[in-house]
Amino acid sequence: MATIIEYRDDAPPLNAYPLRIVSPTRSSSCCMGHMEQVGRPGIEGSWRFCYRRCAACGYAVRHFYAPSLIAVLEAARDLRLTMAELNLGAGPRKRRTRKQIDAEIAAAEALIPRTSRVEDPLPSLAQRRRKLAPTAA
């Protein structure tokens, strides 16, 4: 979890947002009433955050305030892909064909554009399945 805040007592407080913020190591009694947002909100993992700094003493924190809607939607998309890949049949229903499963995976992947994600460390389930599928040799 990277942050731009440096907690130091040997240097005066400094607000050089977005490069860095120098802050005292401990908060003061003035901080509760004087905290102001610095810069724009960001997303870390599945949470939205902003930097908040005391206007009186310079104490700064990284304030996490809400779940990220993008992360929640991507988690729902991944769950839908997993369920499609499991090919679960319930009761008297006939199990789906590979063509139906591929159609569900394509529909789930189309729900959220991949450009919203900063990095994509894992390949999609369809790509992993294709890699693991036996080849005719």
Contacts of 99 (CB under 8 A, 6+ apart): none
Q: How confident is the model over 18-41, as pLDDT tens digits?
A: 889 999 999 889 988 899 999 898
pLDDT band for position 59 (cuts 50, 70, 90): very high
Q: Is the pLDDT of residue 48 over 70?
A: yes
Decide if 28 contacts 13 (C-beta within 8 A).
no
Please tell me which residue, 62 or 131, carries the higher pLDDT value.
Answer: 62
